[in-house]
Chains A and B, each alone.
Chain A
Amino acid sequence: MLEQLRKKAKELLKNKEVEVIIGYQKSNNNSFTTPCFIESEDGVDRLTWDEHCVYNLSLYLKEVKGKVGIVAKGCDVKSIVALMQENQIDRDRIKIIALECQAQVDQEGQILEKCRTCQVHIPGMYDELVRSKTSPSKIESKESDKEYSVLEELEAKSTPERWQFWQRQFEKCIRCYACRQVCPLCYCSECISEKTAPQWILPSPSLKGNTTWNIVRAFHLAGRCIDCGECERVCPVNIPLRRLNKKMEKEIQTMFNYVPGLDSKKKPPLVDFRVDDPQEFIR
């Protein structure tokens, strides 16, 4: 796969179809890769591909100008779709080198939670596709690996218990905004958390401000989050943010039968309206 990836990247650069390729390169730590930006043909040997390519590189698409190639897994392509829907990137200037991905692992070698229920081992949109030679599904699917099974424990709790759970979590928040910085869909140049007139969110890391911040972020991602799980990965105090976003995803899917990141032609339900909307939820 790696050879093919490098070959395709080289071709794109050689034919001047792209000016830069965003990909993964090895780090000095074997359980880790880091993003890299390759601008010349001889640089393509730096590209790597294995189960440690966790990053969602679409994060850089908005910042890197000109014609750009991007190495992308299925989940990363979902965020590219979402960015296209929201008018943030121009598909014409982007070449997607999609990789068939079985699963990614964390630093302990454990398969990531999101990969257990992954539906897009082969990305849904691409210009070049690099297929895997090995047959798929090295992950044994378990009964507990249903799409929303991670929510079961929390959903079983009573509302006060759940509130208490999240209060405990938000108490830990240090407002470092790593979740926001790593999120491909938190692209606003000025975040609502930075607004001062009026000030919507208390900026200091107090429980009230933290609660407002995390809930506002979850709401702002409702119907948009494509579940790359990056926010939870980078959170230095281990707030289980993926559960928050996954719950919103489930609600949106139940109500509007919509899953973000799959179809760039579809309108996200929260920015759509229909005259014949039954509006059952407000009755």
Chain B
Amino acid sequence: MARIGVFVCHCGTNISATVDVKKVAEIAKGFPGVKFATDYRYMCSEPGQDLIQKMVKEHNLTRIVVAACSPSLHEKTFRTCTQNAGLNPYFFEMANIREQCSWVHDDREEATLKAIDIVKLATAKVGKNNPLQTTFIPVEKKVLIIGGGISGIQAAIDVAFNGFKAVIVEREPSIGGRMAMFDKTFPTLDCAACILTPKMVEVNQSDLIKLYTYSEVEEVSGYVGNFKVKIRRKARLVDENKCNGCGTCWQRCPVRLPSEFDMNLGKRKAIYVPFPQAVPNVPVIDQKHCLYINKKKCGICKKVCPFEAIDYEQEDEVIEEQFGAIIVATGFTMFDHSIYGEYGYGKYKNVTTGLHFERMLNSSGPTGGKIVRPSDGKEAKKVVFIQCVGSRDEARGMPYCSRLCCMYTAKQALLLKEHNPEAEAYVFYIDIRAAGKNYEEFVERVQDEYGATYLRGRVSKIFQRNGRLMVRGCDTLSGTQIEIDADLVVLATALIARPDAIKLAQMLHIPYDQNRLFTEAHPKLAPVETVTTGVFLTGACQSPKDIPDTVATASAASVKACGLLSHEKLPIDPQIARVDVEICSGCLACKEVCPFGAIEKEEIVDRVTQQKRWVAKVAPSLCNGCGACNTACRPGAIDLDGFTEEQIFGQIESLTADKGNER
């Protein structure tokens, strides 16, 4: 028979002001199995914990109940205290009489009665608690980084710096991501390539970092410490080991296509590297447009390659690797502004986006750094920038602020003036959001020193007149209607989640919000963690972030990942689901309802019939003990350690025993 000790906490006056703690302790003495009960000012204090340990010895207690605050705050404290008293840490239960009682009631008498019932439930449960043992799982000392933009690059560098292996899986032929497309960066105007390419090279040169470019994550199974990941390496049709990136092939390729990297403003070939500093500097063949692949004609690249690196027969390859942790760095995509009628439904060639403008600014870009009108290639002298396109627009776009548009628009206005001091820059804005180190000062400079004209208001219509764009809007500060005949309009389109974000989230069992942005475990206290242990977030896949924030979260995520990897073994909470295979009929309803993918099917030999049959099996490291499987199981083959059916029945019976209970 369990010998239960009950300790009722005053929590200063947090509890004792509303609950008669002395009475609770007094009545608890009469509950079945209770051998000792008392109250104390602060149970979580050191003297409070000493009291528990002393009473365990004095009264030979075998079970502990602490009636205090929420288990999310001090359960760990008292479990350790129970353990230090020489008992199994799971011979402890917490009765929450603060959050669930004193804080939400006024009537002292009623609240005291409720607290008594809460303590009664805990004593009924603790008597049926089983001793549980923490188990450990080994850790694969390698981190998977999904996405090879600045976020993934920084994460890989930091993981490698900590001495662990990292693998970057990047969908495009080269790492570098969006940042590689930018010209200069705010607020310091460093050239993006100049600060990014050294990091790309570092990644390439590191012995600890492996790159899988032109590859995609196809399947993720397993759990923290032991993720099993299938990676599809798409056929480049170029042997990475033979190619040295000499460029003969793409110089001779006869097919000219719009370059995605240059936002279709420039051309690339059917065999190409997206940009000159690409890492790895190995081309891919665009199978959709290659003449040889489609018509069995041409074949020039193969003929001219001095290293026989072209392999038209190459096929996709799916490889499987194990990882201890995963960092998600998949970044963002741009909002499609063609739903906006007032901006011409995406039909006007000279209405472009920030990313197009970025490529034009770039001296190695498609226009050689000249700001031109895409319609006729003539120099654009009058440029109108429109902010919040798709951002802060709940009806047609995204409800959130994309956070960087104010800054990059200011930067682009500045660079326009630097490229051509005669040019005119107009910026339509709603608010200027320039919270960041030296950000506000930067925007001020753009207005005062560079003379960009800021107009607070929205654009109601863009239309064409005599081959020029007419931008009609209002300046709400002066209260006037404005019409500007512009050469070029640059829309600061919202940063949004990638269309296939949900697919990845489901693969990784991580939640996402209504905007398909991945959700962190806690917005303040766990900003780079997810609820799936071992999966971390960095960069704009979580919410729009500028480069400094992206790099900061990348470093944070890699520290978290390395922290996991620095353990030889990881402890797992023993309060998880357990399958009785004798009872399990193998319907696997549990597997279907498990939100953590913690249940798999396993073939066993039936003890009685000696026949093989399927049953459910719980992966202890994935199970979070939510109990969804428990309720889905019809024959009751699944029980939840720490919350067993016996424990719950014990609780229900303790409350209903004197009320003529019958099942």
Contacts and interface: CB of A to CB of B under 8 A. Distances in A.
Interface of A: 65, 86-88, 187-192, 195, 197-202, 208-209, 212, 220, 267, 270-273, 275
Given A87-B587, A190-B637, 8 more contacts: A86-B589, A87-B586, A188-B585, A189-B583, A195-B635, A200-B663, A208-B662, A273-B595
Size class of the contact patch on chain B: 20 to 34
A195 B645 CA distance: 11
A59 B637 CA distance: 22
Given A65-B611, A191-B635, A273-B593, A86 B587 contact: yes
B607 to A, nearest CB: 11
Contacts of A275: 511-512
The SS class assigned to the B binding surface is: loop
A197 B646 contact: yes
Contacts of A220: 634
Nearest to B653: A198
Contacts of A209: 663
B592 interface: yes
A195 B663 CA distance: 13
B471 interface: no
7 contacts: A88-B587, A189-B585, A198-B646, A199-B663, A270-B632, A271-B592, A273-B593
Nearest to B649: A198
Interface in B577-613: 582-583, 585-589, 592-593, 595, 601, 611
Contacts of B583: 188-190, 195
Interface in B74-130: none
Interface in B623-663: 632, 634-637, 645-646, 649, 662-663
B275 interface: no
Contacts of A267: 592
A272 B663 contact: no
Nearest to A90: B614
B611 A192 contact: no
B634 A188 contact: yes
B635 A190 contact: yes
Contacts of B637: 190
Contact of A212 (B512, B586, B663): B663
Nearest to A220: B634
Contact of B593 (A87, A192, A202, A271): A271
A187 B636 contact: no
B586 A192 contact: no
A227 B285 CA distance: 57
Most B CB contacts (10 A, CB to CB) among A187, A199, A212, A220 go to A187
B587 A200 contact: no
Nearest to A216: B634
Contacts of A201: 663
A87 B663 contact: no
Nearest to B632: A271
A198 B511 CA distance: 35
Contacts of B646: 197-198
A200 B649 CA distance: 9
A188 B601 CA distance: 16
Given A87-B601, A192-B636, A195-B636, A202 B587 contact: no
A191 B614 CA distance: 17
A209 B595 CA distance: 34
Contacts of B645: 198
A3 B595 CA distance: 52
A192 B588 contact: no
Contacts of B663: 199-202, 208-209, 212
A165 B663 CA distance: 21
B604 to A, nearest CB: 12
Contacts of B632: 270-271
A274 B601 CA distance: 22
Contacts of A272: 592
A190 B582 contact: yes
A98 to B, nearest CB: 25
A190 B584 CA distance: 8
Given A65-B611, A271-B593, A272-B592, A192 B662 contact: no
A189 B637 CA distance: 10
B634 A192 contact: yes
